[in-house]
A and B are shown apart, each in its own frame.
Chain A
Amino acid sequence: MDKIKILLVDDEEDFVETLSERIQMRNFDAEIAFNGQEALQLIKNKTPDVMVLDLKMPGMEGMEVLRRVKKDFQNVQVVVLTGHGSEKDEEEARNLGAFEYHQKPVDFNILVKTIKNAYKNKIDNTMISSAL
Chain B
Amino acid sequence: MPSIFKNIINNFLEFHSDEASPDRYKKLRRNITILMIIITTVPLLVMASVNYHQYNTRLTDEIVNPLRAISNKSKHSIELFLNERLSTIRFIESLFSFEQLSDKKALNSIFRVLSLEFKGFIDISLIDKTGKLRNYAGHYVLPTGDYSQEKWFHEVSIRGTYVSEVFTGYRGYPHISMAVQHMTKNEEIWILRATIDIKQFESIIRAMGLEAESDAFLVRNNILQTHSKYYGKVLEKCPIPIPERGFGTTITEITDPDGRNIFMSSIYFEESDYVLVIIKPRSVLFKSWYTLKTDLFAITIISIIMIIIIAFKLSEALVKNIQEADEKREMAFREVQHSQKLSSIGRLAAGVAHEINNPMAIINEKAGLMNDLIDFSPDFENKEKFLNLTGSIIQSVERCKKITHRLLGFAKRLEVVFENLDLNNVITEGLGFLESEAKHRNIEIRTNFSENLPRISADKGQLHQVFLNIITNGMVALDDGGTITIATWDQDKDTVGVSITDNGCGMSKETMKHIFEPFFTTKKDYGTGLGLPITYGIIQKIGGTIKVESEENKGTTFYIYLKKNFDNPNI
Instruction: Knowing A12-B358, A18-B369 are in contact, say whether A108-B364 is a contact too (CB < 8 A).
Output: yes
Contact in complex: A22, B362 (CB < 8 Å): no
**B354 within 8 Å of A by Cβ?**
yes
Chain B contact residues: helix, strand, loop or mixed: helix
**A106 to B394 Cα, complex, angstroms:** 10
Contact in complex: B369, A107 (CB < 8 Å): no
**B5 within 8 Å of A by Cβ?**
no
Query: Could you say which residues of chain A place their CB within 8 Å of the CB of B361?
Result: 12, 15, 83, 104-106
**Interface residue ranges of B325-369 to A (CB < 8 Å):** 354-355, 357-358, 360-366, 368-369
Query: Could you say which residues of chain A place their CB within 8 Å of the CB of B372?
Result: 22, 25
Chain B binder among A34-42, A71-79, A84-92 = A84-92
Contact in complex: B412, A87 (CB < 8 Å): yes
**B129 within 8 Å of A by Cβ?**
no
Chain A binder among B27-35, B287-295, B397-405 = B397-405
Query: Could you say which residues of chain A place their CB within 8 Å of the CB of B513?
Result: none
Contact with B along A48-91 (1 / 0, CB 8 A): 00000000000000000000000000000000000110111001
Q: How large is the interface on B (under 10, 10 to 19, 20 to 34, 35 or more residues)?
A: 20 to 34
**A83 to B412 Cα, complex, angstroms:** 14
Output the least CB separation between B537 and chain A (Å).
14
Q: Which of B360, B368, B414, B415 contacts A104 (CB 8 A)?
A: B360
**A19 within 8 Å of B by Cβ?**
yes
**B307 within 8 Å of A by Cβ?**
no
Query: Could you say which residues of chain B place their CB within 8 Å of the CB of A108?
Result: 364-365, 368
Q: Which of B362, B408, B412 contacts A15 (CB 8 A)?
A: B362
Contact with B along A89-132 (1 / 0, CB 8 A): 00100000000000111111000000000000000000000000
Instruction: Knowing A103-B405, A105-B364 are in contact, say whether A83-B369 is a contact too (CB < 8 A).
Output: no
Interface size on A, residues (CB 8 A): 20
**A66 to B365 Cα, complex, angstroms:** 24
Contact in complex: A105, B360 (CB < 8 Å): yes
**A83 to B350 Cα, complex, angstroms:** 11
Contact in complex: A83, B354 (CB < 8 Å): yes
Instruction: Knowing A104-B357, A105-B360, A105-B364 are in contact, say whether A87-B415 is a contact too (CB < 8 A).
Output: yes
- Would you mind naming 8 contact pairs between A and B with Cβ atoms under 8 Å apart? A12-B361, A12-B362, A18-B369, A19-B365, A83-B354, A83-B358, A88-B415, A104-B361
User: Taking beta carbons and an 8 Å cutoff, which residues of B are in contact with A?
Assistant: 354-355, 357-358, 360-366, 368-369, 372, 376, 397-398, 400-401, 405, 408, 412-415
For the complex with contacts A18-B365, A108-B364, 7 further pairs of A-B residues with Cβ separation under 8 Å are: A14-B362, A18-B369, A25-B376, A86-B413, A91-B415, A105-B397, A106-B361
- The 10 closest A-B CB pairs, nearest first, are A83-B357, A104-B361, A105-B364, A18-B365, A105-B361, A83-B358, A105-B360, A15-B362, A104-B357, A84-B354
